[in-house]
Amino acid sequence: MVNLFNIALVGLLGSAAAQTQYTSTGSAAVAAARATALTLSPTSNVVGRTFDRFVQIWLENVDYVDAIADRMLSLATQGISLTNYIARTHPSQPNYVAVAGGTRHDITDNNFQRLSSSIKSVVDILEDGGVSWSIYQEDMPYSGFQGNYKNQLTGADAYVRKHNPLMSFDSVTGSATRSAKCKNFTMFERDLATNKLPQWMFITPNMTNSGHDTSLNFAGKWARNFITPLLSNSNFNGGRTLVMLTFDEGSYERNNQVYAVLMGSAVPSSRKGTTNSTSYGHYSVLKTVELNWNLGNLGQNDVSANAFF
């Protein structure tokens, strides 16, 4: 299938750029795309029912029982721990698709997937409601990049498409303005420093920091070091910010229960350090966002899911 966005890019560059422009990892191709890639940092101020900013941070592949045994749960004192949160499926990619789309859209693997441009995701309803959004993916080489990217010195996997919740949607990759809001951590730091963070965001650390290629202990340390200063940064946590830290999935050996904690200034101090045993999952995240900003729904599993608030 021909990608319309790449045709537009050929026109833009005035050259015969290959159709693989946005997936190519050759250094010349990356440098060329980086030099021209559109990057956008929209903001908005739509007042929500319970929070005015929502941030999701996903780590990789840890069972609930292991997470609660780890020191990372020092973060639990900062928020509400969800003690009955079940991930959707295995492997990674359909979990990420599910949290954006309200269903895994029949995806059952980590392969390069493309969902038809008529298939909607959370960003359609966010945009309809005027709620600004961005996703931040560590080590993505430039905004809108559609491939996988390795550490250029060591060759280790760094950024992977399967951990990006929006990249499988042609309704995102086929849009220049939506692609421009799929950014890296350089842009996160810039948006944070310039007070240009959006109201909805999804953050994926690289394969090292997420724990995928390391351990829970490593990922937990990364999460504490990343989140703690943000909680005292008013550009991030000012107003009513809700931060959810969780895992995409557990191991194949157990019931796919994962740890999730809700933090940030939107959580009243009286509820910090508490637990909640309501049945939740990745579709609850969508439902919570939909109710908070009165966005309607995607007509998928988001409709019947339990909301956090």
Ligand X SMILES: *[C@@H]1O[C@H](CO)[C@@H](O)[C@H](O)[C@H]1NC(C)=O
Residue 50 lies near ligand X (rule: CB under 6 A): no
Nearest residue (CB) to ligand X, 208 versus 246: 208
Stretch 171-200: interaction string toward ligand X, x if CB under 6 A? -------------x-xx-------------
Annotate the chain with DSSP letters as a single string: ---HHHHHHHHHHTS---TTTTT--SHHHHHHHHHH---------PPPSS-SEEEEEEE-S--HHHHHTSGGGGGGGGSEEEEEEE---SSHHHHHHHHHHSS-TT--SSS---B-TT---HHHHHHHTT--EEEEETT-SSTT--S-EE-TTT--EEE-GGG-SSTTBHHHHT-HHHHTTEEEHHHHHHHHHTT---SEEEEE--TTTTSTTS-HHHHHHHHHHHHHHHHT-HHHHSSSEEEEEEES---SSS--EEEEEEESTTS-GGGTT-EE-S-EEHHHHHHHHHHHHT----SSTTTTSPP--
Nearest residue (CB) to ligand X, 89 versus 276: 276
The distance of closest approach from Cβ of residue 190 to ligand X in the complex, given in angstroms and rounded to an integer, is: 9
Residue of 142, 202, 247, 293 that binds ligand X (CB under 6 A): 142
Residue of 80, 123, 260, 261 that binds ligand X (CB under 6 A): 80
Residue 22 lies near ligand X (rule: CB under 6 A): no
Residue of 208, 241, 265, 301 that binds ligand X (CB under 6 A): 208
Residue 137 lies near ligand X (rule: CB under 6 A): no
Residue 276 lies near ligand X (rule: CB under 6 A): yes
Stretch 219-258: interaction string toward ligand X, x if CB under 6 A? ----------------------------------------
Residue 148 lies near ligand X (rule: CB under 6 A): no
Residue 207 lies near ligand X (rule: CB under 6 A): yes
Residue 49 lies near ligand X (rule: CB under 6 A): no
Residues that bind ligand X (CB under 6 A): 34, 37, 39, 80, 138-139, 141-143, 151, 156, 158, 184, 186-187, 206-209, 262, 276, 278, 308-309
